[in-house]
Amino acid sequence: MGSVVGSVVGSVVGPAVRIDEPTNARSRRTREALLDAAREILERDGFHALTMGAVAHRAEVSRGAVYLHFSSRSDVVAALFDHIAAREGLSDSLRRVRDAPDAVAALDEWAAHLARYHPRMIAVDRAITHVQHDDPDAAAHRRRVDEAQREGCTHLARRLADEGRLAEPWTVATARDMLFALISTDMIERLTVGCGWSERRLADRLATLFRATFTRRDGTGAPG
């Protein structure tokens, strides 16, 4: 999540030898094109179709060019986390949560973030979920995403508790777990695709749900 994206880099990458990111503009463009190609393969053909040869073919470069930037398929998958996050504006989206003036406002911004960011991730998430129990690279990517999301949920729950706004009987741990569970691709897909909800409606309804569930009621009996 935002500030935690970098904090988990390399923690579950596996044994592949990492190749440093290029410093010149042309090499950076090539690397980004390769990662864009890898994402397209995931979304259109599934995780099993992601090979070094397939990335080279989709990006219209030689296999040797791929290996100049990534030592293995595992290296490509490891780099995808930060690449997709940057492409989709994850850091900017989560900065609004971090910079919210209080815990309840942060919870509202978290709802807005889920509605803004996660519908664009449905195809990638589906591709990874489908094979995560059979493919070590997919499993590593899933663990990395889950760790980042749990850290973000922990920050929200702890902030609510520190400001005296966390409702009973929630604890920081149980609120974190429930917030994490509510980052649900099934829920987001059913509401946005199946029910036709707009980003605004999804954000508003999630904010209402989060306030009613996790925040201590004020003197009027209203949550938040």
Q: Which residue's structure tokens are 């917030």?
A: 179
Q: For 32, how many CA atoms within 13 A lie in the half-sphere containing its CB?
A: 10
> Residue 189: which of 97, 113, 126, 107 has the closest Cα?
126
User: Quick one: CA dihedral 121, 122, 127, 128, positive or negative?
Assistant: positive
Which residues sit opposite 215 in a β-bridge? 166
Residues 83 and 32 sit within 8 Å (Cβ to Cβ)? yes
Instruction: Say how many domains are in the chain.
Output: 2
Same domain for 190 and 145: yes
- Between CA 116 and CA 110 the distance in angstroms is 10
**How confident is the model over 39-53, as pLDDT tens digits?**
999 999 998 999 999
Same domain for 115 and 68: no
Same domain for 128 and 105: yes
Which residues sit opposite 217 in a β-bridge? 223
Domain boundary, last residue among 26, 54, 86: 86
**How confident is the model over 177-208, as pLDDT tens digits?**
999 999 999 999 999 999 999 999 999 999 99
This prediction has a pTM of 0.79
Residues 64 and 37 sit within 8 Å (Cβ to Cβ)? no
> Residue 22: which of 81, 79, 84, 86 has the closest Cα?
79
pLDDT at 27: 87
Domain boundary, last residue among 30, 61, 86: 86
